[in-house]
């Protein structure tokens, strides 16, 4: 591979991995399996090793996937929370054992633990009392979720025991038991909410809910896997975990001390099938060197310990016949191919359909009608076709071709450069897109309008009472009571809920509009930077991309949305209905220390987030810029500052200010 090709592929992989990290850690909506993610990460790691000139500290290979959110305050970890290296092969486990034994001359013991699939948590205890509970975050700092963790019954609030360290950190996995997960999804479906994809997503999402009462109602559990302190009672991991169990923490009964790598293999083999009888989801086995002083001697890489590794179980697979392929149109116009299959039992449930993702996936598989296909639950989440058994193919069977026009409205499909999916551009008149946007608009996390479920939206749309989202605010009681299944009370409740929705804050209104690529997090970021809808409508590409986490793709989508006259008319009608399209507090200038200065922010910080610093800069008269140029006054440089910005600053002689320098300049020590 040429250097230019390597650089291009590395950049593509970094962008793709970063997007998948955001979907996994922040949105709790993974689109690919752990196995597929690991393949991408391994390819990037291999290319960076082969072309070290392109290594960057911002690369996903050098950082832990982050679950940090703005809703919670951040806390620095006393001990960094690193990720684990992983493998799917016994050969690589043998290599791991060989590397350990080359470094350590003493006998080696391993501790094998089931890898529970949940959300990692780090809990600090002081004088026997629960003091602070923090998510993994970016490995160096995490979100403070102490109030939520206090609702979990398997986590002790206070501990009384002889020899208890004055302060210690205990780490574990927050889990949602399968029965609770099934009950929760039934409740969500009844409330017209999207079900959680799996227990891991449900647990992680619950942990980030702002109301501890809701968290308590979801019966989360916690399985402990690590104890850290300056005053540990034992110099080995196994005995420290046993001691934690005596203190009242939940430690898995399956944990085993192994004297050799062969005993590790026996543990892995035993639990591959047996784990399915547990009430929790597991996806592998974690193998750790038992001795703490040996762990210390082995040390760490940039993002993972050298003394531990995770062995991942391969997803269960079944063979069945492909009957047909249907094409579904989502609310954003994205067209998703779905395979209709002969029913087959897989991972304890009957599978009749499987996702095919996009046209590239269909072409890669070379699918034909009536093929015998291999189906697996990718990462135990969504059934997918992973291969074809060519020996069963009928020579006369027709090849599956991706459609060229929308199956709902007949519009020619579009595929943008750099995107995997085809989509229907006829968003104003394509029925599934219109109804999908309305359903999105009324959702709990958006306008939170009760009573307008999918069936009701379908009915109102077919009766032409709702053609777009702004029509919701023109509904009248006499229109609703004359419809099937509607009484005066239910109609009145819907109208009351619609009226209440005008109090929803600006950021949620932005999210509710359904702008392509603008999710909840992006909507909050935009509302913090552009305080009124007019500011956002008039923003250009440079202004948008200067905002943290807003790249060219999102910026282009926003500009395209507000260029459309029909969308502007909808917003005009929504404003007339009383919806909030501004942050009432506004941007109040608090000082002039940065008047006339253009500032670039790079890296991570301790006191405030990057977005908060951007607001502080504007409040003090400064201007934010995304790229370094001759007009840049200085760079606010945090930890892990981008190398390219550092080099450019050096070339142009632009000063780097530390966080402390900056705070001193604006009068905040």
Tokens of residue 40, six digits = 């991408």
Q: Is 509 left (phi over 0), alpha (psi -120 to 50) or beta?
A: alpha
115 is catalytic: yes
> Which sign does the torsion angle of CA 487, 492, 497, 498 carry?
positive
Q: Bridge partners of 519?
A: none
CA distance 368 to 362: 9
- Residue pair 180/154 in contact (Cβ under 8 Å)? The answer is no
Q: Report the alpha-carbon angle 357-363-365, nearest 5.
A: 80
Return the H-helix or E-strand segment holding 132. Answer: strand 129-135
Distance CA 334, CA 432 (A): 11
Q: Which two tokens stand for residue 403?
A: 């459609």
Q: Please give, one letter per residue, the 3-state secondary structure of 247-298.
A: CCCCCCCCCEEECCHHHHHHHHHHHHHHHHHCCCCEEEEEEEECEHHHHHHH
Distance CA 24, CA 35 (A): 13
The H or E element containing residue 310 is: strand 308-312
Give the number of other CB atoms < 10 A from CB of residue 639.
Answer: 11
Residue 307: how many CB atoms within 10 A of its CB? 25
Alpha carbon distance 48, 38 (integer Å): 15
501 secondary structure, DSSP code:
G
**Residue 345: partners with Cβ closer than 8 Å, 6 or more residues away:** 318, 351
**What is the residue whose two structure tokens read 């603008």?**
518
Give the active site residue among 15, 49, 115, 312.
Answer: 115
Backbone angles phi, psi at 258, to 5 degrees: -115, 135
Q: Which two tokens stand for residue 240?
A: 């420290």
- Contact indicator for 174, 119 with CB cutoff of 8 Å: yes
Which residues 6+ apart lie within 8 Å of 454 measured at CB? 192, 435, 439
How far is it, in rounded angstroms, from Cα 326 to Cα 345? 21
d(CA 638, CA 64): 17
Looking at the annotation, which residues are catalytic? 115
């Amino acid at each position: 591979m040429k250097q230019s090709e390597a650089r291009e592929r590395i950049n593509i992989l970094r962008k793709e991995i970063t997007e998948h990290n955001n979907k996994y850690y922040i949105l709790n909506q993974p689109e690919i399996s752990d196995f597929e993610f690991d393949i991408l990460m391994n390819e990037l790691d291999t290319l960076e090793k082969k072309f070290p000139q392109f290594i960057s500290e911002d690369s996903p290979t050098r950082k832990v996937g982050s679950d940090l959110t703005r809703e919670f305050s951040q806390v620095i970890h006393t001990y960094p929370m690193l990720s684990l290296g992983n493998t799917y092969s016994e050969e690589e486990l043998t290599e791991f054992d060989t590397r350990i034994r080359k470094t350590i001359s003493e006998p080696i013991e391993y501790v094998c633990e089931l890898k529970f699939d949940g959300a990692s948590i780090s809990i600090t205890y002081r004088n026997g009392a629960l003091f602070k509970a923090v998510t993994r975050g970016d490995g160096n700092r995490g979100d403070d979720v102490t109030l939520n963790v206090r609702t979990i019954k398997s986590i002790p609030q206070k501990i009384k025991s002889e020899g208890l360290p004055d302060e210690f950190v205990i780490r574990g996995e927050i889990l949602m038991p399968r029965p609770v997960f099934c009950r929760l999804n039934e409740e969500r479906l009844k409330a017209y909410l999207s079900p959680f994809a799996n227990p891991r997503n449900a647990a992680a999402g619950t942990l980030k809910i702002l109301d501890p009462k809701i968290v308590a109602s979801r019966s989360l559990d916690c399985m402990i896997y690590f104890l850290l302190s300056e005053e540990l009672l034992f110099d080995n991991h196994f005995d420290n975990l046993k001691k934690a169990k005596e203190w009242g923490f939940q430690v898995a009964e399956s944990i085993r001390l192994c004297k050799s790598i062969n005993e590790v293999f026996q543990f892995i083999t035993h639990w591959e099938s047996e784990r399915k009888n547990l009430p929790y989801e597991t996806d592998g086995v974690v193998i750790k060197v038992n001795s703490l002083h040996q762990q210390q001697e082995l040390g760490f890489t940039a993002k993972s310990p050298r003394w531990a590794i995770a062995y991942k179980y391969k997803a269960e697979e079944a063979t069945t016949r492909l009957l047909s392929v249907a094409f579904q149109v989502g609310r954003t116009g994205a067209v998703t191919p779905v395979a209709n299959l002969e029913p087959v039992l897989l991972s304890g449930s009957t599978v009749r359909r499987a996702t095919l993702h996009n046209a590239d996936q269909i072409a890669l598989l070379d699918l034909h009608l009536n093929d015998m296909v291999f189906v697996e639950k990718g990462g135990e989440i969504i059934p997918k076709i992973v291969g074809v058994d060519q020996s069963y193919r009928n020579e006369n069977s027709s090849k599956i071709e991706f459609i060229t026009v929308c199956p709902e409205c007949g519009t020619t499909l579009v595929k943008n450069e750099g995107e995997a999916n085809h989509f229907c551009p006829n968003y104003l008149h394509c029925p599934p897109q219109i109804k999908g946007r309305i359903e999105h608009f009324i959702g709990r996390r958006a306008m939170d309008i009760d009573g307008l479920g999918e069936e009701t939206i379908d009915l109102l749309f077919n009766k032409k009472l709702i053609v777009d989202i702004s029509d919701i605010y023109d509904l009248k009681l006499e229109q609703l009571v004359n419809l099937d299944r509607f009484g005066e009370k239910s109609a009145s409740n819907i109208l009351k809920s619609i009226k209440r929705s005008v109090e929803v804050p600006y950021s949620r209104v932005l999210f509710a509009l359904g702008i392509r690529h603008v999710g909840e997090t992006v909507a909050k970021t935009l509302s913090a930077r552009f305080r009124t809808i007019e500011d956002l409508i008039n923003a250009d590409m440079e202004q948008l991309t200067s905002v943290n986490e807003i790249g060219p793709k999102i910026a282009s989508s926003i500009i395209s949305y507000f260029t459309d006259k029909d969308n502007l008319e909808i917003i005009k009608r929504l404003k007339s209905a009383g919806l909030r399209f501004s942050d009432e507090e506004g941007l109040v200038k608090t000082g002039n220390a940065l008047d006339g200065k253009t500032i670039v922010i790079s890296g991570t910080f301790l006191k405030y987030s990057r977005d908060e610093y951007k607001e502080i800069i504007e409040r003090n008269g400064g201007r934010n810029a995304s790229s370094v140029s001759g007009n840049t006054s200085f760079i606010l440089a945090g930890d892990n500052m981008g190398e390219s910005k550092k080099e450019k600053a050096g070339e142009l002689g632009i000063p780097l200010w530390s966080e402390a320098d900056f705070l001193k300049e604006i009068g905040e020590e």
